[in-house]
Structure 1
Amino acid sequence: MTVQTIYQDTLRFASIKHLGQTLPSSSIPYVVHLSNVAMEILVAAQHHSDFNLTLALQLALLHDTIEDTDTTYYELEEEFGTTVASGVLALTKNSALPKEARMMDSLNRIRESVPEVWAVKLADRITNLQQPPAHWDTAKKADYQEQAKVILAQLSGGNTFLEHRLAEKIKAYSQYL
């Protein structure tokens, strides 16, 4: 199966799962975020010779399915295999933990995963560091930027290209503070 077919099948699955969801404070379908993360992965793959593009694209398109929809690990495993399901699970914050512990728990699981999982987390935060929702106050924006710095520090050495992109986005995000 070609990477294009796998991309289309995965995007279709993710679109159905996220149907009706929109970007925060917007009417834009949530699938746009997923496509933007996948676009970051496509560009990053051109800068790394030992990179499983197919896996990374699937993870990019599915990274929020367990966390934000009724999709289960087992459903992903059946549809896409254990490697994809495990990668998505690593990218998923554990809602059973206290909120302040969720990100570090996920980052610890990401660091134990393959480089493509690291790349998707970096690409996700790159994509999210756009103009923040209008209802966020300065403290929320500053906290989000600090979280991005933690992600960058914790995933340092995973994907040089995406690390540089995230560092640039963190710096540019200061305009919103």
Structure 2
Amino acid sequence: MRPTSRKKMFWRWRHNPLRRPSDTAEAWIVLVTWIIALAGGVLAGQAADTAMQDSLVARRATLSAVSAVLTADADRTPVTTGDGAVWAKVRWTAVDGSTHTGLTRVEPASKAGSTVTVWTDHRGELVSSPPSATEARLQSELAGALVAFGTGGAVVGCSWAVRLRLDRRRLRDWETEWAQVDPQWRKKMNG
């Protein structure tokens, strides 16, 4: 970095007869904004990551994997192009011993009587399978990153609003000072 560009970068911090108190205030606002945005973003992101991991672990703990039996042959071709699975009717026995039936996703052309693994909640009702450990980690990291960037962005946005008000105040002060100086300056120019 050249010395002249360093001087331009830190001009609000150097002693200068043209520097106003609002320039110093703006320099502090920028410094504090970056510190809070970075530190606050990292801390908020880590907290969101941890909370999401805890939530996914708690959800997985409330679910049970049980064996279910297909009650009818599954369709041969999937209706959608998603994961290639088809909906089929299954029957399973819940932890409390009660028998349930419902629809779940299975491989195409599965035969009646074949077993599949389904996930149930504490009432024995079908639920979607919980994310794997890798999927859960990815979800929690993405949530943490979104919260980190959101927090940092909110802090920078608030700083921008404060600096905008500061700029408006500087312009009002400048207009007031110019209104005082302009008549004297015009008199010298015309005289």
Q: What TM-score bracket applies, with the shorter chain setting the length? A: under 0.3
**Higher fraction of strand:** 2
**Higher fraction of helix:** 1
Larger Rg: 2
Structure with the bigger RCO (C-alpha within 8 Å, sep 6+) is 2
TM-score normalised to the size of structure 1?
0.22
TM-score normalised to the size of structure 2?
0.20
